[in-house]
Structure 1
Amino acid sequence: MIRQKRYAERVSGGDCRVLMDLRGPKLRTGPLQPRPAVLKIRPVRDAYGKVTRPARIWLSTTGSGNEAAAADAVLVVDAEWLADCKPGDKVLLRDARKSKRRWRIRETGSDGCWAEARKTTYLVDGTALRLRGFERETVIRGLPVRPGEIVLRAGDTVVLDASDAPGGAAYFGDDGDLLRPGTISLPIPEIYRDARPGETVHFDDGRICGLIEKQDPDRLQVRITHTRKRRERLVADKGVNFPDTQLGLPALSAEDLADLEFVAREADLVGLSFTNSADDVRELRERLLELGRDDIGLVLKIETRRGFANLPGILLEALKFPACGVMIARGDLAVECGFERLAELQEEILWICESAHVPVIWATQVLEGLSKRGHASRAEVTDAAMSQSAECVMLNKGPFVIEAVRMLDDILQRMQNHQTKKRSLLRRLQLATDFNESGQEKTAAAELPRSSP
C-alpha cells in the first residue's frame, strides 16, 4: 500500500497523508473450540412442508467449477466412483443421524455430476456414498470446520479464563442440567487482578452484558444480565469492555511497541487507540522522539470512560505534538458510558475540542446502512448531518461506499451554511423566502424548497 501510495503521488502530483493506528489496550475474546464439521443439506419446502425444489448437490473430484456456485452443497468424491455415475442412478447413504437417505443422479458432465435430495441430510467426514448396484463406495472428506461459538441468554453463566486454551460452549447433561458453563479465553493478567464482583462486563459492542459474580486469580464468573436478542451468539475476536473497572493496562502493548518503528518510518500521523490519560500521550511522544520523529501528527481516539473524564489533561499533553486531533470513537464509547449518554458525551467532546482549537473526527457507523446495504435509515441521515460540527467524518467500507460518499457530501454541503462547528449561522431560510414571495400555501405535491449548497 505504501508503494502504491507513493506511485500515485508521483503520477498525480498530489499529496496523500498516511494515518496508522496503534491498537492500544483493546480487549477481545480469544479463540473458541471449533464446532463439528457437519453439513446440513435440505430441500426447499412451502409453508405446508411440501418439497417445492429438491436440494441440488454438485459432486466432483475438486469441489470447484462454474456449477459449484449454483449448488446447495458441494462434495468431493473419488474419480473412479464418479465415473460410474449415470443419470437416473440412485446414491445410497446413512447420514450423521444414521437415517437412510437416497439421492438421485440427474445430470453428468466432464468434471462432475448433479444429484438431488428430497429429504434433509446431515453429513460428516467419513460418510460413505454408494451407487445402487455397485459395491464401490466413496467417503466424504474435507467438510469445512465451523467456527466456534457460545450461545448466551439472560441468566446464563460464562467464565472468563486467563489461560491461552481455546474457550468452548456450555456442556449440558442428558437431563438438561448445566455440567460446565461456557468459557472464554482472555489471557490478560491485569483483568483478573483489577476486576471486582459487582462490576459490569460487555461483549461484542454491548450486544451481551453481564455482571461479575465471582473473582479468582485466573478466572471471572460472569452472570449474563442482558442480550439484544433472546439468544446471542458470541464468537472469537469480539470486543470486551469493563466500564466499571480501573484496568491498569499499558497504553502501548508489546505489539504496539514492535509496530512503532515501522509507523515512525512510514506514517504522517499516528492514532493512539483507547487513550485514557495524559501519561499515555506522554509515553507515546517520548517513544517517537527516541525514533527521531518530532514532526509526526497525533490522533487521539477517545473510546473509554477514563479517556472522556481525562480529556482536558489529555489535550494539554497532545498539544505538544506539531499537530493533533481527536476521534470520537462512538462504538466503544457508547458501550463504556451507556448508549443513552452518547449524544451528551459527543457534544461535550466537540465543545472542549473547539475551545482548544483541536479538530475532531466524527466516527463509527456513519451512513453504515447505505455503505453496506445501499439504503440509509432516517436516523443515519440525521446523524450524518450532525457530523457538520466536526472537521472530518469517517465512513466504513462497504459495497456502496461510493454512494455513501456522495450522499455525505450532499448533506454536508447543505448543512455548512446552517452551522459551523457548534455555532448556528442563523442563515436565511429558503422555505421562508418562497412563502414571502408567493404569499400562498403550497399543495401537498409541491416541490420541496431546495437550499443552495
Structure 2
Amino acid sequence: MHYPEKKLQVISGVIDSVIDKILEFESKYKVQLDNVHPNYTQSARNLIHYLALRSFDISDLQEKLDEIGLPISPESKNSIYHRLLNFKTILNSLLNIDPPAHEDIHLTNKEAKIIQHRNSQVIFGTIKNKRETAIMITQPTEAATDKNFVESLLKLGMDCARINCAHDDEIVWKQIINNIKEIENECKIAMDLAGLKIRTGKITPGAKVIHIRPKRNMLGKLVAPARVWLAPKGIEPPKGKQVDAVITVNEKWINKSEKGSTIVFMDARGKKRKIIIDEKENNGIWGLCNKSAFVTIETVLNVFFEKNTTFEVHSVHDLEPLEAIIFLSNGDLLRLDKEPISGNPAVLDDDGNIVEIAHISSTSPEFLNNVQVGDPIFFDDGKIGGTVIETHPKYLIIEITNAKKKGGKLRADKGINLPSSKIDFRGLTDKDKKDLKFIAKNADIVNFSFVNNKEDVAALLEELKKLNANLGIVLKIETSEAFRNLPSILLKAMENYPIGVMIARGDLAIETGWKNFAIIQEEIIQICDAAHLPDIWATQVLENLTKKGIPTRAEITDAAMAQRATCVMLNKGPYLEQTVKMLDQILCKMQRIQNKKGALLPQLEFNENL
C-alpha cells in the first residue's frame, strides 16, 4: 500500500516532537518521579509521558493517520513511550530511513496490563463472578444489626464495602465491619473521611405524624406491605428487623392480640385504613399495612380480637415529629443563616402573602464569609439551585432559580455547593483526624474526600505516618480544583501504595458545571489509565432502581458505560439487593463486548506545577 511521503514526514515530525517533550518532562519532574513508591516507578513515568503527549493536540495527528489509512494509532495510554517508538519504527520503514538505536528499556503494553491488574487487585481484592469490574456498596445503618442483609449483599456480588464517616458513629461502623468480616473476611472495607462538606443545619420539627408507606414500584403496584411495630413506650423494635413505622400504644391490649387480629382506623385525611397483626414479639406486635396512611395523636384505633367478633377502642400514645421539610420553588427567596438558628418554611398571612421568607442555617458558617453577590449556590447534590442576591454579616439571601415544577424539598444535613466562591480550607478537619484513628485500625482503604491539591495529600500522608497506618488511599475527585491538579495529586499520592481514584460525580458535576462534566469524567478515566491506577465510577448509579424499584433507561446506559472503570459504587436504598444483582449482570454482559477504547485527544489543560 502506498502512503503519501509528505504526510508521513509530517506525522514523523510530530512524533519526534512528542518524544522530545517526553524527555523534557522526565527531566523536569525527576524529583517527583524519584519520590514515588517503587511499585509505581513505571506507572509514574508513564503518567509523565501521557502529560507530555497531551501537551499537544493529538486529535489533529489522529485525523492525519486516519486520512492515509495507517492502521496504527499512537494514543494508547498505558505504555506510551513504547508505542511511540514502535510507531516511529514503522514510519521510518515506510520512509526508507534507518531507525536510530533506542537502548532504554520501556514498559510494554503487556507489562502495563499486568501492573494495572496488580494495582486493582491490591485495592479491591479478588473480584467476584469473573467480573473485571468490582462493585463497592455504601453500607446503610441496618447493616450493623441485620447480618442476613449483609450476607445477601456479599452473595449477590459486593466486593468492597463503603462506610461514610459523615453518618452514624464508631459503634455502628464497628458492628457493620464485624458483620461483614464474620461472613467474608476477604471483603475489603473502605471508609470515607467526611472532609469539609458544608451542609444545611437543623430544621424545626414538623407536626407529630407517622406516615405509613408500603413499598410500591414506579407503576404504583404494591411490592411489599409496610411493617408497623406497635408497642408500649420504651419497647424498641427487635434489632435487625425491617421496620417502616413505630406506633406507641397502651400495653393493655397487646397481650390480647393474636395473629390475624385487625386494627381499623380513619387516618388524618379521613381515609379508612387497616393494619393486620402478623406476629407478637418482645412485648410488642408486628402489623402489616397495604395502603398509605397518616397517623396522628388523635387517631382512634379500633382493635378487633378473636376473628373480629369483639373489639376495643384505643388511642395512639406518642409519636415522633414528622421529618421537617422546606418546600422551595423558582422565584422563592431563602435566607441562609450563619448562626445556628433552626430552619423554617416561609410564613404566610391569611391572604397567602409572605410575611417571613424561608430560612435555614449552615453547619460551616465560617465558609460563607467569602461568598459574593451573584455567586451560584446549590443544595442537595444540585437538586435545588439559586443565586446569592444579598450578603449580610449574619446571613445570605438567595433567590431560587432551579427547582422542580412542584417545588424542591430542602431537608436538614444536605450538602451545600458554592462552585464559584473561594473556600479557604486545606488539609484535614479535626473530625477527619479523629476518624482516621478508627479507620487505621479497622479498614483497608481510606477514601479522601474533597482533596484539592498535593498539599492536602501531604497532610493525609503525614497523619498516616503518625498513626503508623498501612492503608490504601482512594482520592475522591469532586471539585474543579482537584481536577486541574489531578496529575500532581496522583504523583504525591503515589508515594503511598496502593492508591486509587473515585470520580465523585455528584459534587464534581455541580462544581465543574453540567456542560463540562461529561468531558471531565472521561479525562479522569484517561489519566487513571495512564497512571495504571484503579478508578471508581460513583454517585447515582442505578439510583432510581435502588430507591424506587425500577430503573430508568438512562441509568441502565450509565451502568453499562461504568464497566470501563475498575469499580462501580452503589449508594444505599430500599431496593439495594435488587440493584446489586442487576449491576452484576450488566457488568458481566458488557465486558464481553466492551473494553476501554481510544478517544480523540485535544490539548489537556493541567497545572504543570507538579
TM-score (norm 1): 0.70
* Mapping of residues 304-315 of structure 1, within 5 Å: 304-315=479-490
Aligned to 1:26: 197
TM-score (norm 2): 0.53
For 1:285, the aligned partner's letter is L
Aligned to 2:404: 228
The CA distance in 1 between the partners of 2:444 and 2:337, in whole Å, is 39
Aligned to 2:473: 298
| Cα RMSD for the two superposed structures | 4.3
User: Normalized per residue, which structure has more strand?
Assistant: 1
The CA distance in 1 between the partners of 2:191 and 2:447, in whole Å, is 6
The CA distance in 2 between the partners of 1:39 and 1:361, in whole Å, is 38
The CA distance in 1 between the partners of 2:265 and 2:369, in whole Å, is 58
The CA distance in 2 between the partners of 1:224 and 1:104, in whole Å, is 38
The CA distance in 2 between the partners of 1:298 and 1:347, in whole Å, is 21
Give the C-alpha shift of residue 172 in structure 1: 1.4
For 1:158, the aligned partner's letter is L
Aligned to 2:425: 249
Q: Is 2:414 aligned against 1:215?
A: no
Aligned to 1:51: none
User: Normalized per residue, which structure has more helix?
Assistant: 2
For 2:552, the aligned partner's letter is S
Structure 1 residue matching 2:323: 3-state secondary structure: coil
Aligned to 1:439: none
Deviations 1:303-337 (A, max 9, x none): 11221222122122112112211111111111222
For 2:480, the aligned partner's letter is R
Native 8 Å contact 2:211 2:294 kept in 1: yes
Native 8 Å contact 1:372 1:399 kept in 2: no
Give the C-alpha shift of residue 204 in structure 1: 1.3
The CA distance in 1 between the partners of 2:315 and 2:182, in whole Å, is 52
Match of 2:538 among 335, 338, 363: 363
Question: Structure 1 stretches of 5 or more lacking a match?
Answer: 42-57, 84-90, 113-120, 131-135, 424-453
Give the C-alpha shift of residue 190 in structure 1: 2.6
Structure 1 residue matching 2:588: 3-state secondary structure: helix
* Mapping of residues 18-417 of structure 1, within 5 Å: 18-38=189-209, 76=249, 79=252, 125=297, 140-293=316-469, 295-397=470-572, 398-400=576-578, 401-416=580-595
Give the C-alpha shift of residue 258 in structure 1: 0.8
Deviations 1:282-305 (A, max 9, x none): 100111111112x42211101112
Inter-CA distance 280–125: structure 2 relative to 1 (3 Å threshold): same
| Seq. identity, % | 39
Native 8 Å contact 1:5 1:16 kept in 2: yes
Question: Structure 2 stretches of 5 or more lacking a match?
Answer: 1-175, 213-227, 257-263, 285-292, 303-311, 601-610
> Number of aligned pairs?
374
Deviations 1:79-115 (A, max 9, x none): 59xx9xxxxxxx999x999xxx99999x99xx99xxx
For 1:29, the aligned partner's letter is T
Inter-CA distance 204–268: structure 2 relative to 1 (3 Å threshold): same
For 2:495, the aligned partner's letter is K
Structure 2 residue matching 1:348: 3-state secondary structure: helix
Deviations 1:113-150 (A, max 9, x none): xxxxxxxx9975467899xxxxx997653134211110
Structure 2 residue matching 1:270: 3-state secondary structure: strand
The CA distance in 1 between the partners of 2:454 and 2:483, in whole Å, is 12
The CA distance in 1 between the partners of 2:272 and 2:497, in whole Å, is 70
Inter-CA distance 191–422: structure 2 relative to 1 (3 Å threshold): same
